[in-house]
Amino acid sequence: MSKITAAITAVGAYVPDYVLTNDILATMVDTNDEWITSRTGIKERRILKDKDKGSSFLGIKAAEDLIAKKNLDPKEIDMVIFATATPDLPVAATAAYTASQIGAVNAFSYDLQAACSSFLYGMSTAASYIESGRYKKILLIGADKMSSIIDYTDRTTCIIFGDGGGAALFEPNDEGLGLQDEYLRTDGIGREFLKIEAGGSILPPTEETVAKRLHFVKQDGKTVFKYAVSNMADASSKILERNNLTGADVNWLVAHQANKRIIDATANRMGLDQEKVLMNIQRYGNTTSATLPLLLHDYEKQLKKGDNIVFASFGGGFTWGSVYLKWAYNS
């Protein structure tokens, strides 16, 4: 019997209509388009303005896009993994609500939280379930309403993040396509440099925590940048070494869209030509758990069956890693 591998067989995505440009941000905080573009590569980001809608709305829309394109019966989905840093509610899993809303009534589901590495870790999780032989169709969703946890008076964070959702369907493959290898890591030192101070079990919400704006993302930008550049590049280089690949063997780099300079450093370390680097950070900013599936969606028509793709991510915690995958279909 040939080994079962886990392949991505469909993708979907959704971004909100409202476009928050650098020029609009410059009317809100002390910044400008040139400063933001030169340091991050971001020109605009999408924002979900409806206060009654959360990350589940973005994930549901992305899943519905995939289901329609694939002509998939949601009842056939065995499992839904919702990768997010911004769940709708504490305790009640966003995945459970999402699965019910899209008609995946036979699926079990749960949330996966690893900050910006959530979707990458979710790929490993979904692949493991498929390779076990117990499940045939796993829907991995990455969605974040980052605007819900961003302080728009803090110019160090509000320029970076946007809202969006993406989804990928994992199914068994007997042609040797799909996920080939992974290199995933964490380091708890990151807890101090990228976090939301209040709202957890250490510092529950109070009038004081709200008044002090402790429920928004805070980061030590220089430290996070330093760790992200070295670790994302290291992980991507390591995955090439382990699989006897060079930059010439890689068709595409699908890297977390946090900062163009980090993506460029990763590509350079891998010896990749710029045309092999998928990038949409200029349009969406950092959508956290949604960046990787949004890239797959935006570039789907360029991906060919058998293409060697390296995924890379870095997030709070710190969490980071790289995945090597062979693409399974022609769009």
Active-site residue set: 116, 256, 286
Tokens at residue 147, please? Answer: 């605007």
- Asked if 180 and 8 touch (Cβ cutoff 8 Å), the reply is no
Radius of gyration for the alpha carbons in the chain, expressed in angstroms and rounded = 19
> 69 to each of 13, 79, 167, 314, 331, how far by Cα in Å?
11, 19, 12, 30, 10
DSSP state letters, 291-331: HHHHHHHHTGGG--TT-EEEEEEEETTTEEEEEEEE-----
**What is the spatial order of strands in the sheet that 79-83 belongs to?**
5-14, 163-173, 138-145, 79-83, 108-112
Contacts of 167 (CB under 8 A, 6+ apart): 11, 12, 13, 59, 62, 63, 65, 66, 139, 140, 141, 142, 293
- Asked if 240 and 309 touch (Cβ cutoff 8 Å), the reply is no
Angle between helices 118-131 and 291-298 (to 10 degrees): 80
CA distance 60 to 194: 28
CA distance 303 to 169: 16
203 φ/ψ angles, rounded to the nearest 5 degrees:
-135, 80
